[in-house]
Chain A
Amino acid sequence: MSLAFVTDAVAFFQAPVKSLVHLGWIDITVIAIYFAMVIYIGFYLKGTSNTSEEFFMAGREMTAWIAGLSFVSANLGSLELMGWAGSAYQYGILATHWYWIGAIPAMLFLGIIMMPFYYISKVNSVPGYLALRFGDGTRGLSAICFALMTVLMSGVNMYAMAVVMKVVLGWNLNFSIWVSSITVAIYVALGGLRSAIFNEVLQFLLIWLGALLIPILGLIEAGGWTNLKHQIAARMGNSDYTHLWSTTAHFRDNPMGIHWTGLVFGLGIVISFGYWTTDFLVVQRVLSAHNLRAARMSPIIGAGFKMMVPFIVILPGLLALSVLPYHLVGEAQAAITGQHSYNEVLPLMLVRYCGPGLLGLGVTALIAGFMSGMAGNVSAFATVWTYDIYGAFINKKASDSHYVSMGRWCTFGGVIISVVTAYMVRHAASIMDYVQALFSFFIAPLFGTVILGMLWKRATKAGGFWGLLSGTCTAIGLWLWVEHDPTALRYVALSADAKAMAADMYRALWSWLVCVIVTVVVSLATAPKPDSELAGLVYGATRLPEEHDDHWYQKPVFWASLIAVIFVGLNIIFW
């Protein structure tokens, strides 16, 4: 009996025979040191997370730099790293839009305009803000959607990482899933948000150290950026792969099948602002800042680093177009032909340039990316569940220590749901697409609700609730329409030439518009809240504290302007 169990257990974690590379003992040592360090940090910080404020909000003690790096790192998951490197190989430099116009303006807007309201209201979460502004109905709707989507997305990320580890390193899928998720569960459950943030800063550093050699050595091999552009143009038969905007005048003119209006309005305004300003996964990191100035500077510092991420994610994808002696293909074709898929481009480039030691560091960077993303999801899930679902609707009068205990158990619960999701995706790959679509249903309308709540005093409780609900239903309805009848894409995305990504942009735009219109109409038809109840929540009814910076270079608005100028400059350079 026991022998059979051991045999089953060994088979469960047994490595596949074929892999791209085998790690030596030095690489294994580098990876093991990383795991030891992150678990040690969890145990070290255990004593600092005894109250709910400490466990869920890291005691609101973080400096602007730590909160800012954590803000970017929580978003830099495995899909973000490997997926976008694969997209750069597939679609060219257009993938950079998800890092620049799809992030920078929204992050600066969060720091300069929105952060004061989140911070002054002293809420613990985005649904918590909605509770103060629009009541418990809107809070409940947003909290349930967020909690569900967060753990599902975490599972999708987990599966994506495990597949790459299997193909590239020959690691068993079960081994990758369980070892990484148990590690995350331990350090987040022990040290709460503080532990997650400390590890995210460490992981951000590791991601850069492990991945930076790829573009450096790749550019040396390709002979510089200008030569790289020529080589890609010669290989692909056109120069569309190295232009950010000049090919977006028509859906047919670029590899992504996207139009500039979709990029600017759908991605740049709705999706980006929705994600970076209302997704609690990232906003939670900024709320942990020790004062308002640090809270405003965190997203601005984060924007500076975010702007540089294409160097280690997009550039390797472009370099692969030039230097790899073979072609990569989509996941479906790779499964049939045994070729490498787009999503493996980053590990493939890593193996190309890195020998023993550096290879271990690069693999550690990929694992760190996955773990930072998962820790972000799990800690945000634990907070929203405990504060906005359990504490708000199920058990309102529990003690503080009970809520901390609930948060710790929730961390394990979130990890288990993520693992279950990863196995569901393993057996039905289409679930991955559904989960990603589900996530997009909610984020765009939520931005409409939050932004009207913050900037428009007249928005009412009923307006907020019905706007959010109708916007979410619109997104689901449009998605179902295109699923049922693919030709409907010409109406949803304004062109029959549009591709899936363009459909996402326009669906987000329409659902946001419906949310805003319904919120405005219902608000005008219902009784407004008096100004006294809106203090600290809405622009025009809130007296913002004066900031006394000694020098002009200490002002958040100065740094935001500088980042904005660099952002515009980069878009012009790579036009």
Chain B
Amino acid sequence: MRGHTSIWLFSGILLLTYGVIIMATGLWELGHPLAHPPVLYELHAPIWWGAIMTVAGLFYTIRFRSHH
């Protein structure tokens, strides 16, 4: 098998990328509220959901980076 890049490293990188994008979008919306907000907008789901994805992505990226 070429190299030993684990699928979990790919998953980690994708999670991290998405987490950063979504969290940044949520933070941006704090200063620039949406004209047509979704239901429960006041819970700021993009911030905490993005943060969870970022932390999980970081963990998987670092944990499986050594196999690369």
Query: Chain A interface (Cβ within 8 Å of chain B)?
Result: 26, 29-30, 33-34, 37, 41, 44-45, 47-48, 59, 61, 66, 198, 201-202, 205-206, 209, 213, 217, 220-221, 323, 351-358, 361
Contacts and interface: CB of A to CB of B under 8 A. Distances in A.
Contacts of A209: 15, 18, 53
Interface of B: 1-2, 5, 7, 10-11, 14-15, 17-18, 21-22, 25-26, 29, 34, 37-41, 43, 45-46, 49-50, 53
Contact of B46 (A34, A323, A358): A358
Contacts of B49: 213, 358
14 contacts: A26-B21, A30-B18, A33-B18, A47-B2, A48-B1, A201-B7, A205-B15, A209-B53, A213-B49, A221-B39, A354-B45, A357-B26, A358-B45, A358-B46
A59 B37 CA distance: 49
A217 B18 contact: no
Contacts of A351: 38
A30 B15 CA distance: 11
Contacts of B34: 355-356
A352 B39 contact: yes
The binding surface of chain A is classed by DSSP as helix
Contacts of A37: 10, 14
Task: Enumerate the 8 nearest inter-chain pairs by beta-carbon distance, A residue then B residue, closest first.
Answer: A357-B25, A357-B22, A47-B2, A198-B7, A355-B38, A48-B2, A201-B7, A48-B1
A182 to B, nearest CB: 21
A34 B39 CA distance: 26
Contacts of B50: 357
B1 A355 contact: no
Given A213-B45, A357-B22, 5 more contacts: A34-B14, A48-B2, A205-B15, A353-B45, A356-B29
Nearest to B44: A355
Contacts of A355: 25, 29, 34, 37-38, 41, 46
A358 B22 contact: yes
A168 B53 CA distance: 26
A61 B41 CA distance: 45
Contact of A202 (B7, B22, B37, B38): B7
Given A221-B39, A355-B34, A61 B1 contact: yes
B59 to A, nearest CB: 13
Contact of A220 (B21, B22, B40): B40
B3 to A, nearest CB: 8
Given A198-B10, A355-B34, A358-B46, A30 B21 contact: yes
B5 A217 contact: no
A363 to B, nearest CB: 13
A518 to B, nearest CB: 44
A351 to B, nearest CB: 7
Given A202-B7, A217-B45, A33 B39 contact: no
A59 B11 contact: no
B43 A217 contact: yes
A221 B38 CA distance: 12
Contacts of A47: 2
Contacts of B2: 44-45, 47-48
Contacts of B38: 351-355
Contacts of B41: 355
B10 A41 contact: yes
Nearest to B13: A37
Contact of B5 (A44, A323, A358): A44
Contacts of B21: 26, 29-30, 357
A437 B15 CA distance: 39
Nearest to A41: B10
B15 A357 contact: no
A205 to B, nearest CB: 5
Contacts of A61: 1
A29 B2 CA distance: 30
A202 B14 CA distance: 9
Given A221-B39, A352-B39, A353-B38, A66 B1 contact: no
B21 to A, nearest CB: 6
A41 B13 CA distance: 13
Contacts of B17: 33
Contacts of A26: 21, 25
B10 A221 contact: no
A217 B46 CA distance: 12
B2 to A, nearest CB: 5
Nearest to B49: A213
A60 B2 CA distance: 15
